[in-house]
Amino acid sequence: MVVPRFFLFLFLVWGFVGHVAFSADVTPAPDLPLISGDQFKYKVDQSKIPVVLDFWATWCAPCKVYSPVIVETSKSYQGKMVFYKVDVSDFSNDKTVQNYSIQSLPTVLVIVKGQVVERWEGILKTKDLKSKLNQVLKTWGKPSVLKQ
């Protein structure tokens, strides 16, 4: 009964290879909206509130660790700041990555009226990220600063 065992083996192997955990083509969907290419002009540069950009990549292990921190933190700033993810692996973002001089991941930028006002590289604890974002709001979140 060598033949049935062989087919059972193939069936099991095929099942595992086809499983999502073993598929290299599966890209996990981020929990924040993705932004790319031409969207920057109207979603970032013309935003009435500060914009937080999380530069990441699917292959970046620290980015995967940091993503839940960014997502959880974003919930505390709804209506005060808008959060987006920027996938540096997406070719439509090459110009953006160059323009913002992104050289390490993860990198978080805070942009007000099209200008970078804060830049943090690496992983921050949730409380440290919130502290920094609160400082940004104190400085840049005032209506008089944003309306100019």
Q: What tens digit of pLDDT does each residue of 57-68 get?
A: 999 999 999 999
Q: Which residues contact 51 (CB under 8 A, 6 or more apart)?
A: 43, 44, 81, 82, 83, 84, 110, 111, 112
76-107 tens-digit pLDDT: 999 999 999 999 999 999 999 999 999 999 99
Q: Which residues are catalytic, by number?
A: 60, 63
- Amino acid identity, position 112: V
Closest by Cα among 100, 79, 129 to 35:
100
The fold adopted by the segment(s) 28-147 is Glutaredoxin (3.40.30)
Q: Give the global pTM.
A: 0.76
